[in-house]
Amino acid sequence: MIEQTAPIAESTYRELLSGLQAILADEELVIEPERLRVFECDALTAYRRMPKVAALPRTEGQVQRILKLCDRLQVPVVTRGAGTGLSGGALPHSAGLLLVMSRFDRILEIDPVRMLARVQPGVRNAAVSEAAASHRLFYAPDPSSQIACSIGGNIAENAGGIHCLKYGLTHNNVASIRALTVEGEVLTLGTEALENAGPEYRSMLIGSEGMLAAVTEITLRLLPLPVETRTLLAGFDSVADASAAVKGIIAAGMVPAALEMLDATTVAAVSEYCNCGYPPTAAAVLLADVDGAPAVATADAEQLTGIFRDCGATSVSVATDASERARLWLGRKSAFPALGRITPDYYCIDGSIPRGEIGAVLADIEKLSKDAGILVANVFHAGDGNLHPIILFDAGKAGEIDRVEALAGRILERCIAAGGSITGEHGVGVEKIDQMATQFTDAEIAQFLAVKAALDPNGILNPGKGVPSLRRCQEYRALKKHSEGAA
């Protein structure tokens, strides 16, 4: 649901344009619809909207002046990184400005002694690890979109990745952030030192979906590259067995670097799509990395193999050399394109649950999927309890999108009921804004709104995203009650 907004007044628009022309060079300002078209959506393509203008500044000074100008004219600002977001966070505002950060693309410094990388927000995630590799260091959070997504977008979404189980999420790997409030104030949050002093404002900004400030520079913590990695693949006859293995691994006190699950639908699709060596008829596979010093990696691989077998794995293989490991990971990494071949459209959900609940929640998702008559595939970060149910559908069918949205809503509510969250890493954006009313009370929502108002009193930054108004919460809850009563 996109909230309706009033169009920008003609006089405001003229003032905005002349203001922007004073700040930006011609080629840094986009107003022609045909050139704005590339910005109309992020990776949640079901939502599209054209911005009024797009600015592509190169300096922090320009960003500061743009923000102040928009704040004065009360023109909405949506910041955009690489546009790979999956919750519509970078969806433009039709009466607003799109602040495109892609030209902030420089790695300013790699400091091997302090193990820090100072980067601009438009730098691609993978580029940081590439630049640090010669020092035997890397930047750990590795979203599957890492060749494209930007560090600024990672900060805004608190992005996770395959190896976050051992190495942490974005928020665990950020030293400091430089950002601008909409009033043009410079914030430097966090520290290069190993501990922050004072309240965790750095954490408050991470995951704030471009609603509190525009990030202009980030100092990331780097970690020593794993010396040795073993990749394990285990096939299972049932999702329940695979889920029990996940639970067993955590309970045994193991910390694999990665632990991913693919269900039967996904395994079949990737086995068709690429030569990844998965047992093609398995009901579920688990894919894990264990890493560290050679002796540790070897011991962990043995322990993990034991747990897989104890939990009824029908096959376990261990890959040591790089090409074998890459082949096993190819299946996981091909999951989205492979599923894309068996369905006209798909929609990826992002629920987070306790790891011990995976089996029960997946069983219920299957039931919900059957009831709705819509297929759901699962490929996800099992070790973190971060589900990614993928709804396979055909947007061409009448009414299908509404049924898909309803199914997605029910799946998220099931995650909340399991003690979880409506989003583990993709953010709320426009997509999950209604379910915020289920996860949070009015007092909690009001507190979020008060924090937002403290930094952005005119509500200029990314309006209509992330945190719903109290009225919207009440309407949603009433609607839900009504439809539950009817069912």
Partner 1 sequence: MIELSAVEQQLVAQVQEAHQGGQRLTVGGGGTRAFLGAAPQATRMDTRANSGIIALRESERTLTVRAATSLIEIESVLEQAGLQIACGLPALQPESTVGGAVSAGMAGPGRVSGGDIKDQLLGAVLVNGRGEPLRFGGDVMKNVAGYDLARLPVGAFGDLGLLLQLTLKLQPRTRAETSLHTGMGWEQGQELIRSLQLENYPLLASAYEDGNWILRLGCERAQLPQPLQGAGEQPAQYWRDLRDQRTAFHNGPGNLWRIVLPQGAPLLAHGEEPLVAEWHGALQWLRSDRPASEIFAAAAAAGGHARLFRSELAGLCSRPDAGTQTLHRKIKTALDPHGVFVAGPGNLFAEGGEA
Ligand X SMILES: Cc1cc2nc3c(=O)[nH]c(=O)nc-3n(C[C@H](O)[C@H](O)[C@H](O)COP(=O)(O)OP(=O)(O)OC[C@H]3O[C@@H](n4cnc5c(N)ncnc54)[C@H](O)[C@@H]3O)c2cc1C
Residues 21 to 80 in contact with ligand X, rule: CB under 6 A: 42-43, 78-80
Residues 270 to 299 in contact with ligand X, rule: CB under 6 A: none
- Torsions phi, psi of 118, nearest 5? -100, 120
Residue from 437, 440, 460, 473 binding partner 1 (CB under 8 A): 440
Residue from 293, 322, 326, 417 binding partner 1 (CB under 8 A): 293
Cα 266 to its chain centre, rounded Å, is 20
Residue from 5, 74, 94, 203 binding partner 1 (CB under 8 A): 203
Decide: is 157 part of the binding site for ligand X (CB under 6 A): yes
Pairing of strands 97-100, 77-80: parallel
Residue with smallest beta-carbon separation from ligand X: 153
Residues 104 to 133 in contact with ligand X, rule: CB under 6 A: 121
In the complex with partner 1, which residue's Cβ is closer, 250 or 282?
A: 250
Residue from 19, 153, 190, 420 binding ligand X (CB under 6 A): 153
Decide: is 247 part of the binding site for partner 1 (CB under 8 A): yes
Taking the complex as a whole, how short is the minimal distance between the CB of residue 174 and ligand X, in angstroms? 13
In the complex with partner 1, which residue's Cβ is closer, 205 or 313?
A: 205
Using CB under 6 A as the binding criterion, the count of chain residues that bind ligand X stands at: 36
In the complex with partner 1, which residue's Cβ is closer, 196 or 317?
A: 196
Taking the complex as a whole, how short is the minimal distance between the CB of residue 97 and ligand X, in angstroms? 12
Decide: is 360 part of the binding site for partner 1 (CB under 8 A): no
Taking the complex as a whole, how short is the minimal distance between the CB of residue 197 and ligand X, in angstroms? 10
In the complex with ligand X, which residue's Cβ is closer, 211 or 311?
A: 211
Residues 298 to 337 in contact with partner 1, rule: CB under 8 A: none
Residue from 144, 219, 271, 378 binding ligand X (CB under 6 A): 144
Taking the complex as a whole, how short is the minimal distance between the CB of residue 298 and ligand X, in angstroms? 28
Taking the complex as a whole, how short is the minimal distance between the CB of residue 323 and partner 1, in angstroms? 22
Of these partners, ligand X, partner 1, none, which one is at the site of residue 203 (CB under 5 to 8 Å by kind)?
A: partner 1
Residues 170 to 189 in contact with partner 1, rule: CB under 8 A: 171-172, 185-189
Specify whether the CB–CB gap between 315 and 279 falls below 8 A. yes
Of these partners, ligand X, partner 1, none, which one is at the site of residue 210 (CB under 5 to 8 Å by kind)?
A: ligand X
Residues engaged in binding ligand X (CB under 6 A): 42-43, 78-86, 89-90, 101, 121, 143-145, 149-150, 152-154, 156-157, 159-161, 209-210, 214-215, 336, 425-426, 462
